[in-house]
Amino acid sequence: MVEKETNMKKILFVNDEMCMGGVARVLNTLMESLDKSKYEIDLLVLHPHGELMDEIPEGVTILKSHSFFSVVDMSIGMAIKNRNIKVLLHKLYLVFLLKTGLIHNKIKKIRSKILETEYDVEFAAKEGFCTIFTAAGKAKRKINWVLVDYEEFNYSKRHMKLLRKSLEKIELNIANSQKAARAFQQVFGVDNVKSIHTLMDEKKVKEGIKMPLSQKIQSKDIPNVVTVGRFHHQKGMERLIKASIAVHNLGIYHQLLLIGSGELESQLKELAREYKHIEFLGIQKNPYNWIHVSDLFVLPSYYEGFATIVTESLIAGTPVLATEVAGIQEQLTQEEYGRIVENTQEAITKGLQELLMDRDYLRTCKMKLNTYQYPNAKILKEYEKEFDYDEEVK
């Protein structure tokens, strides 16, 4: 048993849900990495559901939420689509509280019911509603995590006044890339923003690449191209499919593997319907073995904050072709890591064509990536420095 220090810092992490995706994964990695003899960690999932609830690390206490928050991650459109009048009215009530600013009082009342301790640090794991919840607390230090480029997409555009008011009570905003930090600072007019890259679960990736594939690859004689992500507009999957079709039609044969799911799945499958070289593998809890056996990983996103999957691909030993999004210049820092192209359909197509025609380059990249090292230890120290911040030397 780990002996706990008497002066342990109490940290509360707040997230809205734990569905398969970037935020929940990197949050679990951060909580797993923190020394449990030094930090007492609580997690409040406002709407406790999602595949990654089962992967919350040992040593983390999961707090019971309140039914009021069951619609925080649901849109009005989704409530209407589900034809659930009770849920729709609940969501409309939440929106009313947000629009009028009465949400602050509501959150304070609920906090007093569900939180039984005071915290040294409260950490809003997802900017937006979690920020508002955290700002209402009395922790000595309140931190907001920024995981997207707000100049490209502003998740809080409908509640800017409310969020700006909440940010006045936030001591520090941690963005996962320099570009995301600058964008957040510009959009919200705040100065207390710094960049710290997200931690990677290297062990999970390295163990994952050793696992057998869930099915056979169709052909090992042609290059395999892979991508992983939600089938959502942000991820630009249709651009990769169009690029793959164009390159295939030029006689540059390859296999394209798409891992993931989402609201655009039917449209993407229809786009690729006539092309047998494009295969949809669905959600893979372990995508790393597929990345490892592939010759190239492609990130066709319209915007990101710091694409975790890009660094995971490098850890798995596969070079990356990526669009120019936030964080990518900080990830693909060496030639053998891959190529960055303009954020356009034409550039993705051209980049895919050039790399598939240069298989010697791809083989050299994979060989050199065997020694790739991600600076997890350094990044963890940066987070600990912020958690150990002494208010008296402010």
Same domain, 286 and 388: no
Contact 367, 259 (CB under 8 A): no
Percent of the chain with pLDDT over 90: 86
Same domain, 193 and 238: no
Same domain, 84 and 118: yes
What range does the domain containing 240 cover? 202-371
Same domain, 355 and 288: yes
48 in any annotated domain: yes
Rg for the chain, CA atoms, rounded: 22
pLDDT surpassing 60 at residue 5: no
Looking at the structure of the chain, the number of domains it has is 2
Q: How much is the pLDDT for 1?
A: 47
pLDDT surpassing 70 at residue 128: yes
Q: Is 317 exposed, middle or buried (0-12, 13-18, 19+ CB in 10 A)?
A: buried
Q: How much is the pLDDT for 175?
A: 97
pLDDT band at 4 (very low <50, low <70, confident <90, very high): low
2 in any annotated domain: no
Same domain, 192 and 328: no
Same domain, 121 and 154: yes
Same domain, 183 and 231: no
- Identify the residue with better confidence: 314 or 82: 314
CATH number of the domain where residue 263 is located: 3.40.50.2000
Query: pLDDT tens digit string along 162-207?
Result: 999 999 999 999 999 999 999 999 999 999 999 999 999 999 999 9
Same domain, 244 and 270: yes
Distance, CA of 113 to CA of 115 (rounded, Å): 6
Cβ atoms within 10 A of the Cβ of 197, count? 24
Q: Is 2 exposed, middle or buried (0-12, 13-18, 19+ CB in 10 A)?
A: exposed
Same domain, 45 and 123: yes
299 in any annotated domain: yes
Same domain, 271 and 366: yes
257 in any annotated domain: yes
1 in any annotated domain: no
Q: Please give the C-alpha separations between residue 54 and each of 29, 48, 57, 309, in angstroms, as whole numbers.
A: 13, 11, 9, 20
Query: pLDDT tens digit string along 46-79?
Result: 999 998 999 999 999 999 999 999 999 888 887 7
212 in any annotated domain: yes
